[in-house]
Structure formats: structure tokens, C-alpha cells
A and B are shown apart, each in its own frame.
Chain A
Amino acid sequence: MATQALDNNVLPVGAKVRIRSIMPPGHVRAPAYVRGKTGDIERVIAPFKNPEQLAYGLPAAEQILYRVSFSAVELWGDEAENPEDRIEAEIYAHWIEELETANAT
């Protein structure tokens, strides 16, 4: 969706990423269980005004929203029910660190 309009900084589908391992207070939209974890970009959604600023009535810059897919093993280790299962979450660009760029699909 709407990816053509975005600039070259947009991560491609399949890119390996790590979610920032920080614990800021407030209305943050990256759940704690994915922080510090590695996954890959499942799709690029679109830019949205950053809800972490909007929630406080602050001027909110647009941030690209991605869906990041994690393996159950990456998140839960030995406690994963099935190694093939995936957990996918919407993560804003400012929470994402790129590890390596895979080829866009």
C-alpha cells in the first residue's frame, strides 16, 4: 500500500530488523515482548502521525508503520509451542533498527 510515494529510506519487505530495546514511559506502541527481538518486515503499511506524540496532544511527525513478523522461537525460546508459528505486530519506524537489507520481494 502507498509504498511508491515513500522515499528511499523505506525498508523493503523481508528486511531483517531488530526492535529497539528501550523502555520509555508513556503511550508507546511497541509491546515490551518484542523489544530487543529480531524479525523481518512483513509489509510496509503507510506513514501515520506518531500516536506516541498524538496521545499527549503534541505535534506529531509522520512515521512509517510496518508490520514485523517474528518467529515464536525468537520471542519465547524453548517455551514456543511450535517453531513454525509467527507473531506479527505493527511497529513504527522509530522503533526499528535495520540489521541487513534483504532483496525486496
Chain B
Amino acid sequence: MYKHQNSRGSGSFSWVFQRITGLILVVVIIGHYILMHYTPESGHTYDAVLARMQSNWYRILDLTFVVLAMYHGLNGVWGIFRDYKLKSWQTITIIGFLIVFGLAFTLWGMKTILDIPYVQTTSGL
């Protein structure tokens, strides 16, 4: 009788994870904004990107950023849809659409990051 009284399996994980990813993204996105606009070149030239991407830590940070932002964003969109009474075929269509587009763009973004070559540089950056 009390079996269904806990909140497991009712979306509580995504509720918690939405907050955790959100808090991480606040820090990362403001840092991202400052860094990308610190000089006119830092976010808008190939050489600046190339220099940053020589560091694997930078690649890991950017890959994490893409994945977390996409998850947080699409989970948020799903949260909006969930406010409305949906028929099961609508649920399946919307979730399918979000997963397909989310995965495609996440993989595209990850490919863009990983395609940037490692080059031999004389100076540190």
C-alpha cells in the first residue's frame, strides 16, 4: 500500500539533476562569457580557439559544457511540455524528437571540439 508513496521513478532524479547541472552551468557560462569577450580576438578567431584546445583540460571542460547545457536545456523544455496534459503518443513523439535532436547536436558539437588539431607551438599559448 505504501509502495508508491516514495518519489522514486516519478522524475525526482531529473528534478535534482536539473538543479545540480544548473548550478554548475551558472559558474561555467559566466566564465565562458568573460573569457570569450575578454579581448575582441579571444572568442572570435581560429588561433585563439586553437591555442585553448591544445589543453586537454579545456577540451574536457568544453565537452562537459556541451553535454550539461544540452541536457539541462532539453530537460527544461520537457518540463514545460509536462505541465500540459499529454496523450501517450504525444509524450513519445516529443521525447523522441528532443532525444534525436539533442543527441545529434551534442555529437555535432563534440565532433567540432575534437576535430581541432593538436599543433606544435613554440610559445606556451
A and B together in one complex: no
Query: Contact residues of A with B, CB < 8 Å?
Result: none
Query: Contact residues of B with A, CB < 8 Å?
Result: none
